[in-house]
Structure 1
């Protein structure tokens, strides 16, 4: 019970305290251990973790294939692909003249390189292409106008997409202004009790904007506005999110170091 419960906590607390001491108190021996020796330990542990993960993956799919569970054909494809990559990477050297073990992986004519470039990369690109449809579906649900925040998200998303696509540079400024005004009035439509007032206000705004186009700066194009949104509001929101994530990491790390959080033990 000690090796399963108390020992992992002792190791975690000791490593955490040493890391904190090395960061805030400049002790050369402790700092060298954290920056050099501990990284070697991490690489060794990560290598064993990868081995255990691969073994567990093979065991799970082999069991699924033997008992012919649902979708066991995919397990067969995974096992065959796993075996071929292991064979081409560790055992088969081909006709190369490499003397050292593992040099054939860097050979552009090797079987391993061919499998990686001709099989893995196209499949990887296909998966990312499929993700585009899921992103489009999620964007459709997120861009529904429900409140002020959703309206801002919709407006910013439309402006960024118009500025990102090549056809956005060919959109004239007056159409760009018309899109912005339409989005604004779409958000303000619940405020108007009469549709006639809404339509008249929309037409008057369009006319005023049309006259103001003579003073419209050519720099205020779809591309420049898109770049401004990405450079300022997006960066500000990203920094706020990163600060929140950092505070969460600090809080979680302190709970683990002082033994308050034992979720890594499976509790």
Structure 2
């Protein structure tokens, strides 16, 4: 039932001895979407970087991160690198940081797909072209021949979604993927995430502080504050019957913002 289990994850800075994540435990069910919510500094992104083993050298972690029963914390860096992309795929908040700025987009796509799937250059070009078109990217060959700085955040996010669709990973981790986008691009990217789940059946961890997006995409919700899990449950329970005062505060703030937006729009 669970594809990923995190047991007593502790993350700390060896330079300061500061504990960043305090013995967090949670499960990700197969083909479901778990949203991790909380304010900035709550530990959302650090939790997911720890799952991917992508933290800085001075950040250490303990506990278990079990992908289909295999503890990722026990793997060598070489073994872990083989998991990233094909088994675990992370879509970052800022698409610009996901690509090498000195290379055109197509070079990154080619290197990734050759490493994980062993395809020829022609196979990669055909598959990426078709998949990029399926996520509403026009002129995909032109895009693949452009540098990251020449493309908008929304286009870069959709390129990363297209790559994930081709790789078909078992777990997709999306770290605030809509934060840097305008409202129209946010809507389009979220629609592509929903379609991606339907197409490849991946399990997903979706990090966000936007509860409107969470309500649209998630099945389960994990609420974090100061590096601790303070509440978790299915989407209906969290939004209609939250137990913790912090969760209630997050939800009431979101509803107040939504009501204010509707009032403003009504006055225009």
- Greater RCO, CA 8 A, separation 6+: 2
**TM class, shorter-length:** under 0.3
Q: Please, what TM-score do these two structures have when normalized by structure 1?
A: 0.25
Q: Please, what TM-score do these two structures have when normalized by structure 2?
A: 0.25
- Point out the structure with max Rg over C-alpha: 1
